[in-house]
Amino acid sequence: MIYQIYPRSFFDANDDGIGDLPGIIKKFDYIVDLGIDAIWLSPIYMSPMHDCGYDISDYYNIAPCFGTLEDFKTLLAIAHSNNIKVIMDMVLNHTSHVHPWFIESSSSKDNDKSDWYIWHDGKKGKKPNNWKSAYLESAWEWNQIRQQYYLHSFLKEQPDLNWHNPKVKEAMFNIMRYWLDIGVDGFRLDVINYCYKDRRLRNNPFSINPFSEQTEKYNRNRPENYVLVKEIRELIDSYDNRMVVGEVFSYPPGNPELSASYLLDGKGLNLSFDFSLLYQPFNARKFYQCIKRWYNTIPKTGWPCNVLSNHDQPRYGDKHSNDDSDSINRLLALLLLTLWGTPFIYYGEEIGMKNSTIPLKNIVDPAGKRFWPIYKGRDRARTPMQWSDEANAGFSNFASWLPIDSNYRTINVKNQIKDRYSLLNFFKDCIRLRKKHSALTCGLWEPLVKGKHGILVYLRKNDYETLCIILNFTNSPTLLNYRYEAQWKVLYSTHRSRFEHFADLRIQCYPYEATILQKVGDLT
């Protein structure tokens, strides 16, 4: 179970409005109390922050707004003493445009780093090819000094590295070694499927996907990427007990086969993100199909991971916004924590934080600035953690970098800690159950009801136990009628009044009910 922390929004220890490493340290009891196994920190390296730290200018140091290297080492030590692992974000595809490598590379056509990035003269005064950046504009930017174009898959402040150059790989592997030597337990690899580009820079074919007008045939998922992933895994395995999780990015509806392909039959990524589930509407049948397809594509040697929210996506529980979001959040928590595969929880998910409405003048995310008002960007899922009903939600004594959601007076950690039946305590219960019941981690996943009448039912079973998970995705009472004679005992439920025993899976489900039954004996 991995908890993603967006450091600038977790807790501000020095009251400058930006969350920081000392802030995470201050709140470490809260993290320990959640019961998770690891934290993943979005980038904390030196950066001019054009893309909230995903534009790194020095991979060896911490951005002053987050603290110092000493703070990081202290955090690591505290985490480890609490048996919690620390995963760092690692951005390999691009650097910041103010990284010394790019400054040198752009200074002339014949310097030591001249081919560390992807440069091209252009074709008869035009851009080298039709590739688009994530901002739907040309991925090529003219550089005055070099009188050439350079490639950027994201912002022009994020030039793409030339991975065909072995020196780039060596430099990046040294960076990873540096952090592994310091003791980090692994990396989350940013857009790991983007690193290599076609050497001939061929034009991409057109596509009908509304999120991208071209298929990324020549600038993503190139065969060399797989070799890279394999080499990263070898590096990781040369240390004890480390891991890599890769962001294998694809636009909605997602691409589970692609994500799983990077597991390389046990020799590639340890975990690979597939975003199909978080792109799905809230529908039992769709969830079933998506989960099934994901599991089918995981190689025998592989292991899935599951995620519903992250710093790039709207918070899932609130996406299909309505008055039922508290119940939906509980169902989703129970689903996430009873599925096969490592669950990723995004900070604030455990208290049901919402997608904030942020006025244009406060938008920080470049995607929000670029596409407003058609797409308001990613800030709405990045607002400060709501610790209490005090000023600034107890996040800071200073105006925070993004406005705090006005719902903080009701939705906050302090309230939820007090309330035995809060979402936070629900999450903690599910986390503890997952730890306690090995069938939930290692057991087989066997679907029984595949979305019929809005209900999803599956078993998790191993040699020791059989658990049955029942999820009613609808807001109405619905009859589950599945013949499975056994003695079933309620292990945990969103509904406290749930009866204790069943002799069959014939149950009138409450709206949005999520229940775990435990088989206590066969009826003969």
From 521, 491, 516, select the one nearest 503 (Cα to Cα): 521
Tokens of 53: 């730290």
- Spatial neighbors of 318 by CB under 8 A, at least 6 apart, are 325, 352, 353, 354, 355
Minimum CB separation of residue 18 from Ca ion in Å reads 4
Amino acid, single-letter form, for residue 434:
R
Whole-number Å distance between alpha carbons of 229 and 524: 52
Q: Which is nearer to Ca ion, 14 or 518 (CB)?
A: 14
* Those residues with Cβ within 8 angstroms of residue 77's Cβ, 6 or more apart along the chain or in another chain: none
Q: Does 318 bind ligand TEU (CB under 6 A)?
A: no
Q: Cβ distance 115 to 146 under 8 Å?
A: no
Q: Is 419 a catalytic residue?
A: no
Q: Does 187 bind ligand TEU (CB under 6 A)?
A: no
Q: Does 134 bind ligand TEU (CB under 6 A)?
A: yes
Q: Which is nearer to ligand TEU, 38 or 367 (CB)?
A: 367
| Among positions 3, 119, 140, 249, the unique one binding ligand TEU when judged by CB under 6 A | 249
Q: Are 25 and 70 in contact (CB under 8 A)?
A: no
190 binding partner (options ligand TEU, Ca ion, none; Cβ < 5 to 8 Å by kind): ligand TEU
Q: Using CB distances below 5 to 8 A depending on partner kind, what does residue 12 bind out of Ca ion, ligand TEU, none?
A: Ca ion
Closest to 1 measured CA to CA, from 425, 417, 355, 428: 428
Determine the size of the site formed for Ca ion (CB under 5 A). 5
Residue 358: other Cβ atoms inside 10 A: 20
By the rule CB under 6 A, 54 interacts with ligand TEU: yes
**Both tokens assigned to 155:** 């912002």
CB under 5 to 8 A by kind: which of ligand TEU, Ca ion, none does 224 bind? none
Which stretches within 183-297 are classed as H helix?
Answer: 223-237, 256-261, 276-279, 284-297
Look at residue 154 and give the partner it binds from Ca ion, ligand TEU, none, a contact being a CB closer than 5 to 8 Å depending on partner kind. Answer: ligand TEU
x/- string (CB under 5 A) for Ca ion, residues 6-45?
Answer: ------x-x-x-x-x-------------------------
Q: Smallest gap, in angstroms, from Cβ of residue 20 to Ca ion? A: 4
Which one of residues 149, 154, 445, 488 is an interface residue with ligand TEU (CB under 6 A)? 154
The least CB distance from residue 93 to ligand TEU, in Å, is 7
CA 307 vs CA 60, 115, 254, 350: distances in Å: 29, 37, 13, 13
Give the C-alpha separation, 255 to 46, whole Å: 32
Q: Judged by CB under 6 A, which of 25, 41, 91, 358 binds ligand TEU? A: 91
Active-site entry in 247, 274, 350, 379: 247
Segment 348 to 367, residues that bind ligand TEU, using CB under 6 A: 367
Three-state secondary structure call for residue 339: coil
Indicate the residue among 93 and 383 with the shorter CB distance to Ca ion. 383
The question of whether 379 is a catalytic residue gets the answer no
Pairing type for strands 505-509 and 478-482 reads antiparallel
Instruction: Identify which of residues 52 and 79 has a Cβ nearer to ligand TEU in the complex.
Output: 52
In DSSP terms, 446 is beta-bridged to: 459
What are the catalytic residues?
190, 247
Binding site for ligand TEU (CB under 6 A): 51, 54, 91, 134, 154, 190-191, 247, 249, 311-312, 367
